[in-house]
Amino acid sequence: MLNVNAKAFIPRSTDDYASHYYGSFFRYFLLLPVERLAMVNEEQMEESSVLQLLTKRQLYSCSLGGLGEEALRSFITTIFTAIRNDYRTSKKANAPTGILLSRTILSLSGTISSVCTAENAVGLLIRIDVPKGFSADVTLQLKVAWEDFFEACRNDSRLASLGYISSACGTTTARQYRGTYRHYFFVCSSLPQDDLDLLSLANFEFPFPTLRIVKVNALMPFICSPRPAVVVVVSVGVNAKRVLLSEGTPDHIFSTSFFPFDVSRTFSSLQEFENQYLLFLQKSKWNKTHVLLVDIDFDDSYRVETSRIPPEDVLLFIMNLCDDTSTNIVGISFGDDTIENSLRLSTNTGGPNACYVNETLRHILERGHSLDTSSTLFGGFPQHLKRPLSSQTYVQMRRQVEKWLPYFCEPTCLNRVTFVAAAKSFAEVNYYARNWAVGTSVIMMTNGKGDTFCFDVQTSSLSFLSHGLKCATGPVANCAFLGTVVSSYRHYMDYNIVVEDVLCFEGTDVHNVSFPERWLLVEKAILDGYENRPCANHNCFGIMRANYLPVDKSERLVSKPPKNYPNLGVVLIPENKFNESSALPSYSWKPDKSVTAIFTIGSVENVTTTEEEICRAWLYVRDDSGQCVPYNHEYVDYFPDASQMIATGFLVECVLAMDSDGAHWWELVKSYHPNEGVVPNDYKYVDDVVHTSSITYNEVIWLASASNYKCERCQRIDDAGRVNQRNKAYWCPKCWEETGHGNCVYCGRSCTVGRVDSFGHHFY
């Protein structure tokens, strides 16, 4: 019946629908905020949260079409065609953020026992594996996943209700592209608490991709509430915890230990925390917002690994756990004793990001921010590409990284100082050239299942990217590649990984194999080069291989560089990494007008001019002890309107500009937040950039013929020598004179026997 005095449709009693098949559901819309803010200062809510939702019409029925299958499909289409990863969706009037399909009627005028049963029902929270970044296209993926989910659950008599809901975090900042968006399916049990074994997770193997399935007590109040059931505050270090608890008391405290050089102990401690947290979700009631404190304690007493585990990987584990369970991190407080050992997290525009230094709990809760986990920066790897990684898999892949990390080395910059040494290397083996991709250097690995992982060389952060190697001819397992993560010009969230070398292929160590043989393995495994890169959807990444050419034919790498990712100059790779005596280096070359240096900003001041406002930033570099010192009292001027994100402590990349009289100055190229993992150059490097002249690419191409100018007698490289006609060997001028050879200064003929005048230094 339809109550004309009510705004919502009130269904009839259950007996009226007894003739319908068992799979019929009553349909409800959920109208909740996209990001639910904590209300920790309010008193505990004694009234049922489901009743609250019905009273405030945040849970209301859909009466269109009755209970038929066609009406149900129309209902599903209505919700899933309107889903967007956009915080502005919640501002639209009557825009639902979720749905509920119940086998019983939930109504203010109906049986209250049905509402109470739904209130206390235990259920499963299922996080769907879809993109979580802003504006990502998730409509089709969610609709297909829902069809599989509904078909798997609709005829299960143990389930009283099921539904879909979305939530977000980090949408309260002023950035236009903001927020992390999570999507969940959920099911509620019709069984009593004692029969929870029937809801074991092993019985729910859904045919759609999921990130985690979590058992939650009283699932409806937990997930379908205008306020968050749980908020998390993280303290990093002893001082951070002491200051945090000086004002405010959390409801629960979980502790975990961080061992920077022992990955097994670190993630064993995280696994204990995860088990305690999941047990907390199964045992608690949600009549108020629970404030959880996760304390991370540093312990440097164990040193097993050679590379240091970044604390950001530990924080990422906690962030993924919160995303999987629809809880928000409202603050991360770093202690001043851990700042030097860790990077504070930052958003890519420097806005409010729920990160603090020695802050109290009361202040963090009053700020009302939450951590935007998809656009939080630490290191140079895009956060929205990272996927949740189990502790066991992390430990396994970290062990693999320790094996391949020693084989990574930065190329030596080619200039007048290094040119002679480079000529000797080029005379020994052939070199191959590729474009120098501008981005983050990584070691990309696959495990036995073919899952793709990336290790950020600069920050030592390990990330899980995808199941299976994209753009591959088939399953590529147990491999290790060297590459660079670069941004794409197609979309601001689209990234590419340029594969540049291979260390291990299908379990076989190939780093000592000659480069042509190694690269043939890459070409057989990875289809896409930069010239045939297909279009890719944003919020994902593509894998392509670099393009190599012999050095003497590599001029087109400079004249016609790739257009779909940033690049600068070329990198030169030796055919064999080792000769008879030592390792052969790789070299890099930049155009003389593109040589840059990275500085730390010491201070910023305004320069008064009559025409327009100009700011002056004083440049600092690292000394031998790692401290930042002024670089010869030099500075860079810039327009504040063009570079607003510059302040003391920020980093800037500047290009060197030279005048014809030898004077030089710096021009601003790009600025970096202090927490992006960018390191300023040292004093020696910057001094070499200023006082060492660069070389042209024609001189680089000349290096390919350096073997033709290698003296057979002394093995030196010298292009001023000549060929000995007797044995057809090339000799340098010094050896030519030492053996009595030369051109007569009078007649000009080449003579085998003669001498050099000690006064005039002429050959007679």
Q: CB of 579 within 8 A of CB of 600? A: no
**Distance between CA 202 and CA 742 in Å, rounded?**
88
> Is residue 759 a part of any domain in this protein?
no
Would you state the pLDDT for residue 372?
Answer: 86
**pLDDT over 50 at 564, yes or no:** yes
Would you state the pLDDT for residue 16?
Answer: 40
User: Which range is least confidently modeled, 17-26, 217-226, 475-484?
Assistant: 17-26
> For 366-385, what is each residue's pLDDT tens digit?
888 888 888 776 667 788 78
Which of 361, 714, 328, 386 is CA-nearest to residue 541? 386
**pLDDT over 50 at 743, yes or no:** yes
- If DSSP codes are grouped into helix, strand and coil, which group holds residue 180? strand
pLDDT confidence tier of residue 5, bands split at 50, 70 and 90: very low
146 and 21, same domain (yes or no): yes
DSSP 307-375: SPPPHHHHHHHHHHHHHHTT-EEEEEEE-TTTTTTSPPPEETT----SEEES--HHHHHHH-----TTS
* Helix count and strand count (H, E) for the chain: 16, 35
Would you state the pLDDT for residue 6?
Answer: 43
**Distance between CA 509 and CA 480 in Å, rounded?**
9
Among residues 208, 223, 238, which one ends one of the domains? 223
> Is residue 579 a part of any domain in this protein?
no
> Is residue 591 a part of any domain in this protein?
no
Among residues 223, 240, 263, which one ends one of the domains? 223
pLDDT confidence tier of residue 343, bands split at 50, 70 and 90: low
> Is residue 757 a part of any domain in this protein?
no
DSSP 60-127: EE--TTTTSHHHHHHHHHHHHTS--S-GGGGGSTT---EEEEESS---SSS-HHHHHHHHH--EEEEE
> Is residue 704 a part of any domain in this protein?
no
Would you state the pLDDT for residue 119?
Answer: 84
> For 484-523, what is each residue's pLDDT tens digit?
999 887 777 788 889 999 999 999 999 889 999 999 999 8
- Cα torsion 724, 726, 729, 732 to 10°: value is -30
Q: Considering the entire predicted model, what is its pTM?
A: 0.83
115 and 65, same domain (yes or no): yes
> For 672-713, what is each residue's pLDDT tens digit?
877 666 789 999 989 988 888 788 899 899 898 888 888 877
370 and 403, same domain (yes or no): no
408 and 530, same domain (yes or no): yes
641 and 507, same domain (yes or no): no
**pLDDT over 90 at 482, yes or no:** yes
Would you state the pLDDT for residue 581?
Answer: 60
Tell me the C-alpha to C-alpha distance, in Å, between residue 657 and each of 88, 617, 652, 663: 45, 16, 15, 9
End-to-end Cα spacing for the chain: 123
503 and 634, same domain (yes or no): no
**pLDDT over 70 at 346, yes or no:** no
Tell me the C-alpha to C-alpha distance, in Å, between residue 401 and each of 222, 458, 504, 586, 709: 40, 13, 12, 21, 41
Question: pLDDT exceeding 70 applies to what percent of the chain?
Answer: 81
**Mean pLDDT across 193-204:** 53
552 and 607, same domain (yes or no): no
Provide the mean pLDDT of the chain: 81
Give the CATH number for residue 121: 3.30.760
**Mean pLDDT across 436-453:** 91
Q: CB of 129 within 8 A of CB of 209? A: yes
Tell me the C-alpha to C-alpha distance, in Å, between residue 252 and each of 109, 237, 255, 333, 334: 38, 18, 10, 17, 19
User: Which range is least confidently modeled, 188-202, 354-368, 621-635?
Assistant: 188-202
Tell me the C-alpha to C-alpha distance, in Å, between residue 605 and each of 289, 490, 639, 656: 46, 37, 12, 21
Would you state the pLDDT for residue 610?
Answer: 62
> For 135-173, what is each residue's pLDDT tens digit?
788 888 899 999 989 988 888 778 889 999 999 888 776
**pLDDT over 60 at 435, yes or no:** yes
Pull the structure tokens for residue 36: 């639910």
101 and 56, same domain (yes or no): yes
Contacts of 578 (CB under 8 A, 6+ apart): 512, 584
**pLDDT over 80 at 764, yes or no:** no
- If DSSP codes are grouped into helix, strand and coil, which group holds residue 521? helix
Domain count, the chain: 5
**Mean pLDDT across 655-664:** 86
Tell me the C-alpha to C-alpha distance, in Å, between residue 395 and each of 68, 303, 619, 621: 51, 15, 40, 36
Which of 697, 549, 684, 566 is CA-nearest to residue 629? 684
Phi and psi at residue 51, in whole multiples of 5°?
Answer: -65, -35
> Is residue 636 a part of any domain in this protein?
yes
Task: Give the torsion sign (CA, 130, 133, 136, 142).
Answer: positive
**pLDDT over 70 at 296, yes or no:** yes
> Is residue 388 a part of any domain in this protein?
no
Give the CATH number for residue 426: 3.30.470.30
Would you state the pLDDT for residue 566?
Answer: 87
> Is residue 386 a part of any domain in this protein?
no
Domain that holds residue 74: 14-223
pLDDT confidence tier of residue 93, bands split at 50, 70 and 90: low
**Mean pLDDT across 232-251:** 92
688 and 725, same domain (yes or no): no
Among residues 328, 345, 378, which one ends one of the domains? 378
354 and 248, same domain (yes or no): yes
Q: Amino acid identity, residue 596?
A: T
Question: Tokens 């083996």 belong to which residue?
Answer: 429
Q: CB of 591 within 8 A of CB of 651? A: no
**Mean pLDDT across 451-462:** 90
Give the CATH number for residue 609: 2.40.50.140
**pLDDT over 90 at 420, yes or no:** no
User: Which range is least confidently modeled, 62-71, 74-83, 639-648, 661-670?
Assistant: 62-71
**pLDDT over 80 at 571, yes or no:** yes
Would you state the pLDDT for residue 592?
Answer: 82
Would you state the pLDDT for residue 677?
Answer: 65
Would you state the pLDDT for residue 179?
Answer: 84
Would you state the pLDDT for residue 496?
Answer: 86
**Distance between CA 20 and CA 17 in Å, rounded?**
6
306 and 192, same domain (yes or no): no
215 and 238, same domain (yes or no): no
Which of 17, 225, 198 is CA-nearest to residue 103? 17
Angle between helices 311-324 and 263-283 in degrees, nearest 10: 20
